[in-house]
Structure 1
Amino acid sequence: MKEKVILAYSGGLDTTAIIPWLKEHFDYEVICCCIDCGQGEELEGLEERALLSGASKLYIEDIVDEFCEEYIVPCVQANAVYENKYLLGTAMARPVIAKRLVEIAEKEGASAICHGATGKGNDQIRFELGIMALAPHLKVIAPWRMTDLWTMNSREEEIAYCESHGIHLPFSTAQSYSRDRNLWHISHEGLELEDPACEPDYSNLLVLGVTPENAPDEGEYVTMTFEKGVPTSVNQVPMKVSDVIRTLNRLGGKHGIGICDIVENRVVGMKSRGVYETPGGTILYEAHQQLEELVLDRATAEVKKEMGNKLSQIVYEGKWFTPLREAVQAFVASTQKQVTGEVTFKLYKGNIIKAGTTSPYSLYSESLASFTTGELYDHHDADGFIRLFGLPLKVRALKKEEPAASDIG
């Protein structure tokens, strides 16, 4: 009986060419597994293509809700943003994909998992760290790093390879952007984006929305509710997290929200330039922060900011299945107990404009914050506070005024 390999299958040219390549060089039974994180129409026709290319079967695993509730929500709650811009759309999906690949491998009794990530990118690290943490006994095959066996370096060569194995596919040799899509975002790399001096060709680039210039001339108000840091409704319509994201994607895309052009530092040491569309995610992050401003005290907010930065690094580097991620997430979860309330904002030409926030746990006191003296605050109390708060500055200044010891007769 042949050994089995689980192939992380997208249906694109790379992973389709890998099917006959695995059979030719390893004599494996190839079982394809497409993990549905919300790719939409990209899933159409995959089973026929996989079987035509030599796979024995194809799994299409819908993990959208798990992805949203167990991976996206913790990152939103932490405000995890990599290098102040990237909302981790690809990085957040990789651990849940790796987890499901391992589950299918164990179900099938497979001895290996194969992925089509390149040797220059982050995804090879994310997939393999996930597999290593969950199933260290499984072999990992990464064709793009096996240059003695994987000799194809262009779309033309991959198409010719498939045709030589009797596989005729509807793929073009024309170059296009390299994209990764799920419910949370879509990323774009390649073509003019490889030169940081070039402005993106947004007329051909955007998939989820429009540029702010092409957004409606009239803004649109949106109201959201949260329960313990989890979004629960949009415009008074209760919905699960995945539907919140779908709704916000539609609204954000319409108003030119969430287009990010970034040169980021990859884990492997190089810089890369890409454009990310994250319309719904950008709104969700902003709305959640808007509510946290009301309910978190300053000291907690300061530490939480550090933990958010740490979680973004953990997720970006593929270290989801680690004690550190669990500890950071546990801290963040403890801060969300009172992040409950309603947030209103206006979407207008790429902007998210505050329009009111309420919470039963709000720490904002109008009587304290008002310029009018209230019962809880006596202005004279500030005298002693300022003297004590500034005491180190005063002592330092006085010491500087003292004559040097050598000057004393």
Structure 2
Amino acid sequence: MPPKSKESAAAPVTVPWEGAARFKGKKIGVCVSGGLDSKTVSKRLLMAGMDVLAFSADLGQPDETDIQNVKKRMATTGVDTVIVDLKDEMAQGCFDIIQCQAQGDGGYWNTTGIGRYVTCRGLLKAMHEHKVDVLAHGATGRGNDQMRFERYTNVLYPKMSVFAPWRDAELLKEFPGRTEMAAYLNGFGIEAFVGPKKKYSTDANLAGLSHEAEDLESVETSMLIVDPEMGVWPSQAPDKMEEVTFTFEAAQCVKINGKKVTPQEAIRLANTIGGRNGVGIAHALENRIIGTKSRGVYEAPGMELLGKALRYVYQAILDRRATRLFEHCSKIVSDQIYDGRFFDPVTTASIKAIQELTKHASGTVTVGAYKGNVHFISLKDVSASLYNMADSSMEASDGLEPGLEPGVC
């Protein structure tokens, strides 16, 4: 007679979980990363007799060398995982945010907010195709993502329910910390270990990385404890400026250094160039949706490099009134994306206004990346430019004649 498996020896077939019991007979789609939390929640749902299928988004995460590893890690829990390739959608999301110059509190590119609307839209579509009735997410009850997942689900698939396990009192009592989660999984022969206390946690996608929590929660702790994963600190960057040329058409980057690029190619190359020159590392005490403040250190080298280059084109084509309207709409888009409201009418209207204002933002910009800075080098072929060198000259020229009454603009 074959020996019993570790799983059958460790626990009965069904272990009650009152919080999840209301979903009995329904299919639960769990958003996972393959980490300790994902495996614990998925396994616990299985042991409660739930029908579980995991979903994970491929967003071009720089900290995930092979997205298929998520599927392998989740397989140890007995749960199958659907990997949804959203790299192109993520790249276009980056382009849209760069066009809107949409930055979060503290002036950093809100890479997590961008990633969440792409993730939710893509995973919800896949869940709908797999007949999922309930979306379960691992977001903490103290952060922004719980709101984002629920808002996007309610807007895009209002008939789908949302379950937040880490707001469930029963689960929180059963797993008060990582040690208890690891012990639970080890009881089934599932590899899991706590390891040494981390300095901070990281969330990543093609747009960049956000680092927060743990040691970073103390404002007496230097941001320099972070080890950049997409590049280097400015002090470690080369002592030589690296020039890079971007060609934009209607505010979208179409060439880098004269070579045609897709949005994904553009973001990846800009990440590489910006990263090695220490560009795009920011610090902020941001205002969370739920009303608290959170501290973070953010990496977005490609977003910063492309965003700053495009800003130079905007300076040439937007007059004073257009600039003020652009800034107003940009702030609305920034706040809406942060709040998980990308698909709200006010967001759509603001983005359309920005697209109208920037439809003539075409030209070629050369910038220099140097130790965390992006310096202007040159601007050319901007056919819609309002800049007239003769008018702006402080010397005698064929431009503006100071002896005449100024025109009404």
What's the TM-score once normalised by structure 2's chain length?
0.89
1:194 to 2:217 alignment: yes
Identify the match of residue 207 of structure 2 among 184, 202, 220: 184
Deviations 1:343-380 (A, max 9, x none): 00111111101001121221111121112344452212
1:82 to 2:107 alignment: no
Residue of structure 1 in register with 2:403 after alignment? 380
Tell me the secondary structure at the aligned position of residue 402 of structure 2: coil
Deviations 1:62-120 (A, max 9, x none): 11111221x22222111111124121100011112111222122111111000000000
1:49 to 2:73 alignment: yes
Identify the match of residue 301 of structure 1 among 313, 318, 323: 323
1:342 to 2:364 alignment: yes
Residue of structure 1 in register with 2:253 after alignment? 231
Please tell me the residue identity of whatever aligns with 2:203: D
Identify the match of residue 260 of structure 1 among 282, 290, 301: 282
**C-alpha root-mean-square deviation of aligned residues, in Å?**
1.8
Q: Distance in 2 between matches of 1:384 and 1:311?
A: 35
Q: Distance in 2 between matches of 1:334 and 1:84?
A: 27
Q: Distance in 2 between matches of 1:2 and 1:273?
A: 41
Tell me the secondary structure at the aligned position of residue 169 of structure 2: coil
Residue of structure 2 in register with 1:281 after alignment? 303
Q: Is the 8 A contact 1:53 1:167 kept in 2?
A: no
Q: Residues 320 and 36 from structure 1, CA distance in 2 versus in 1: closer, same or farther, beyond 3 angstroms?
A: same
Q: Is the 8 A contact 2:234 2:372 kept in 1?
A: yes
C-alpha displacement at 1:299, in angstroms? 0.8
Tell me the secondary structure at the aligned position of residue 187 of structure 1: strand
Instruction: Please list every run of at least 4 consecutive aligned residues from structure 1 whose deviation after the TM superposition is greater than 6 angstroms.
Output: none
1:141 to 2:163 alignment: yes
Identify the match of residue 269 of structure 2 among 241, 247, 255: 247
Deviations 1:188-241 (A, max 9, x none): 112321111211244x52211111111111111111110000011111111111
Identify the match of residue 357 of structure 1 among 366, 372, 379: 379
Q: Distance in 1 between matches of 2:159 and 2:184?
A: 31
Q: Residues 147 and 272 from structure 1, CA distance in 2 versus in 1: closer, same or farther, beyond 3 angstroms?
A: same
| Structure 2 unaligned spans of 5+ | 1-23
Residue of structure 2 in register with 1:91 after alignment? 113
Please tell me the residue identity of whatever aligns with 1:322: D
Bigger helix fraction: 1
1:113 to 2:135 alignment: yes
Please tell me the residue identity of whatever aligns with 1:120: R
Q: Distance in 2 between matches of 1:167 and 1:139?
A: 32
Deviations 1:242-268 (A, max 9, x none): 111111111111111111111111111
Identify the match of residue 18 of structure 1 among 31, 41, 54: 41
Residue of structure 2 in register with 1:153 after alignment? 176
Q: Distance in 1 between matches of 2:250 and 2:318?
A: 12
Q: Is the 8 A contact 1:6 1:112 kept in 2?
A: yes
Q: Distance in 2 between matches of 1:191 and 1:84?
A: 20
Name the count of aligned residue pairs. 381
C-alpha displacement at 1:305, in angstroms? 0.4
Q: Is the 8 A contact 1:341 1:360 kept in 2?
A: yes
Tell me the secondary structure at the aligned position of residue 45 of structure 1: helix
| Structure 1 unaligned spans of 5+ | 390-409
C-alpha displacement at 1:149, in angstroms? 3.0
Identify the match of residue 367 of structure 1 among 390, 395, 401: 390
Residue of structure 1 in register with 2:312 after alignment? 290
Structure with max Cα Rg = 1
Tell me the secondary structure at the aligned position of residue 150 of structure 1: helix
Aligned-pair identity in percent equals: 31
What's the TM-score once normalised by structure 1's chain length?
0.89
